Structure 1
Amino acid sequence: MIRATRFLRAAALTGGEIVDRVVLDHGERHRRRTAMRGIGGTRFLLDLADATVLDDGDALVLENGRLVEVEAAPERLLEIRAPSEHALRRLIWHIGNRHIPAEIGPEAVWIAYDHVLAEMVRGLGGTAEEVERPFRPEGGAYSGHGHSHSHG
């Protein structure tokens, strides 16, 4: 089976032949080694040196030099908002206290759908609406990088 042993960040793509595309949710985009199949049928082994968070638009480099584009799959999420900046910060603290992945934007936070957390947010004065979109949570304080699509 052909292998993909390295990747290119979207910003570094300057050409190359894209032969297929893989559509992956957040968990599937954080891998080191796994068998994959592109939507066009290309089968390959992802075989990276380290577990890596791939982002939308990145490309996996096959041994023959061809590229497989990575597309972030839409996921069922909660979009959390609050009536003020202070209230949003408070909600972010409560979410972080539960150690769940979160994507933090300037006016909203996104987490994986969870009806219990939705009720908690509403009980604290925020809104929690179900949305479907790609999920790009923060990388974490101990992961060696910040936001998952700013490293590379």
Structure 2
Amino acid sequence: MLPHGTGGNRTPIDVVVLTHDQRHVRRKLLHMQHDDVVMLDLKEPVQLAHGDLLLTETGELVEVIAAEEELYEVTPKTPLHLIELAWHLGNRHLQAQIEEGRILILRDHVIRDMLTGLGATVRDVSEPFHPARGAYHGSGHGHDHGHHNHNHG
């Protein structure tokens, strides 16, 4: 795998379009845009980013493209309100793409109701999703989401 921008002037032979969940891989059969299939088999799980390049056994490149996904765009009233909304989403362990002036999350009508109840403007959008990587994204941590006698209330 080559990070975005490190392929030199070589042109990829094909692209693979993946959602954010599909971009977290270790071993996976990838269906490329032009109907070819390639087996990705890495030593450890990675989070592929939009624009990353996969190097085939024959030395050719395949570009990773982030797929458009059905999301909510959450717009706050103020910068402080954005922080408060992000806190509520994080408290629920929701994946979020946090930007200056907005937050993107996967669609969930219950969360939409919560956010509008908190004063946010929420609208449907369809675009690539790049959620922030959590504090435990590194290899070897073994973090699970079992709730060990603590509450989030």
Q: 1:119 aligns with which of 113, 117, 120?
A: 113
The yes-or-no answer on 1:44 pairing with 2:42 is: no
Give 5+ residue unaligned stretches, structure 1. 1-6, 146-152
Residue 4 (structure 1) aligns with: none
What SS does the corresponding residue of 1:8 show, helix, strand or coil? Answer: coil
SS of corresponding position for 2:13: strand
Structure 2 CA distance for aligned equivalents of residues 51 and 15 of structure 1: 27
User: 1:99 aligned to 2:104?
Assistant: no
1:94-119, Cα deviation, whole Å (9 max, x unpaired): 00000011110011011101111111
2: distance between equivalents of 1:100 and 1:130?
Answer: 17
Out of 61, 74, 78, the residue aligned to residue 80 of structure 1 is 74
How does 1:12-51 map onto structure 2 within 5 Å? 12-51=6-45
Q: Deviations over 1:117-144 (max 9, x none)?
A: 1110000011111100000001101113
TM-score, normalising length: structure 1: 0.88
The one-letter code matched in structure 2 to 1:22 is: V
Deviation at 1:43, TM superposition (A): 1.4
> Partner residue of 1:148?
none
Report what 1:132 is aligned to.
Answer: 126
Per the alignment, residue 62 of structure 2 pairs with 68
Moved over 6 A (4+): none
C-alpha displacement of 1:17: 4.2
| Residue ranges of structure 2 left out of the alignment (5+ in a row) | 140-153
- 1: CA distance between counterparts of 2:125 and 2:100? 17
Q: Percentage identity across aligned positions?
A: 40
What secondary structure does 1:55 align onto? coil
RMSD, aligned CA = 1.3
- Matched residues in 2 for 1:142 and 1:41: separation? 35
SS in 2 for 1:10: coil
Are residue 10 (structure 1) and residue 41 (structure 2) matched?
A: no
TM-score, normalising length: structure 2: 0.87
